[in-house]
Structure 1
Amino acid sequence: MRRTSFANSDCTLAGSLEIIGEWWTMLIIREALTGYRRFEDFRERLGIARNILTRRLRHLEANGILERVQYQDRPPRYEYVLTQKGKELGIALMALAQWGNKWKTAGDTPAPIRFNSAETGAPLEVRIIDTATDQPIYYKSVVVTPPDGITRHPGKDSE
């Protein structure tokens, strides 16, 4: 079965999924966010086939998520460095991990991913903030306006 492309979608979520929707992508980004940069490190840590890793890295490079940087001349060797665009995917990765930690999506005994402040060591949490008040907003207060322009309030009847 062939996957539908969202490359020409007018929805930013669909367009984002076109770039990061394949599961290896977020795992590669997870490894890059934790400091891994080299092909062999990605391959060994993820247990991913070379051809799949090569395709994923090229895709991330083509979409401005990773930048391939030469670190050795003889023989030429490269590493993959997160761009600013790639680093900002860390927030999405944190939100997904937070959801997985809460709902224990990794099986009976998941090893949760923890995010802590470099300054204080305190646990970090992804939240939606109302930019007018700087206060957290919860699902029941969210109004969504998709590309069709029709505003919907999906959480108004939920707890």
Structure 2
Amino acid sequence: MLGRTYERENCSAARALEVVGERWSLLIIRDAMFGGARRFTDFERSLGIASNVLAARLELFTENGLMESRRAADGAEVREYLLTARGRDLEPVILALSAWGDTWAAPNGAPIVYRHRRCESPVHLDLRCDTCGDSLAPGETAAVPGPGMQ
């Protein structure tokens, strides 16, 4: 049975949830990634999130290397929160969660369409086999012990 935290679990998904599994977390990452949010007030305004919750999430993200905090580029006396490579690597997670939501939780259709910046065509995620290159449908993936299994 899981305790209050996942950090002792030998499961990468559970450990990832320790960092990004709280309410608001992936929305903050989404707004930093696609919405241009950088400053505390940007996130507050776009999400309507309580300031204490936002402060806690931004602190968690900086402590875990998903974001870096630095003085505003324009010299203002505020901090900007920028995604690191670790934070940007959550892009497929945001896209997958959005695709699921578009299918199962958006009765009027996709509220946001993600597009390729260069050609402006819609993008989608595609799971592929490393060896044969086949696209995999749900149910065609097996979970087997990896090198980190103890």
Q: Say whether the fold is shared (TM-score over 0.5).
A: yes
SS of 1:136's equivalent in the other structure is coil
Q: Which residue of 2 aligns with 1:15?
A: 15
Q: Distance in 2 between matches of 1:37 and 1:73?
A: 12
Q: Which residue of 2 aligns with 1:68?
A: 69
Structure 1 residues 135-154: aligned runs within 5 Å: 135-145=134-144
> What is the CA-CA distance between 1:19 and the residue it aligns to?
0.6
Deviations 1:73-132 (A, max 9, x none): 9763210000001001011010000011011x14x4355221111122111111211111
Q: What amino acid maps onto 1:8 in structure 2?
A: R
Q: What amino acid maps onto 1:7 in structure 2?
A: E
Q: Distance in 2 between matches of 1:51 and 1:110?
A: 33
Q: Distance in 2 between matches of 1:59 and 1:113?
A: 27
Q: Which residue of 1 aligns with 2:131?
A: 132
Q: Distance in 1 between matches of 2:130 and 2:6?
A: 29
Between stretches 48-57 and 126-135, larger displacement belongs to 126-135
Confirm whether residue 48 of structure 1 aligns to residue 49 of structure 2: yes
Q: Which residue of 2 aligns with 1:4?
A: 4
Q: Which residue of 2 aligns with 1:25?
A: 25
Q: Distance in 2 between matches of 1:92 and 1:6?
A: 19
Q: What amino acid maps onto 1:93 in structure 2?
A: I
Q: Distance in 1 between matches of 2:118 and 2:73?
A: 34
Query: What are the ranges of 5 or more consecutive residues in structure 1 without an aligned counterpart?
Result: 150-159
- The TM-score, its normalising length taken from structure 2, stands at 0.87
SS of 1:37's equivalent in the other structure is coil
Q: CA RMSD in A?
A: 2.2
- The TM-score, its normalising length taken from structure 1, stands at 0.82
Q: Distance in 2 between matches of 1:144 and 1:74?
A: 49
- In structure 2, the CA distance between the partners of 1:74 and 1:121, relative to structure 1 (3 Å rule), is closer
> What is the CA-CA distance between 1:66 and the residue it aligns to?
0.7
Query: What are the ranges of 5 or more consecutive residues in structure 2 without an aligned counterpart?
Result: none
- Counting matched residue pairs gives 145
Confirm whether residue 118 of structure 1 aligns to residue 117 of structure 2: yes
- In structure 2, the CA distance between the partners of 1:73 and 1:111, relative to structure 1 (3 Å rule), is closer
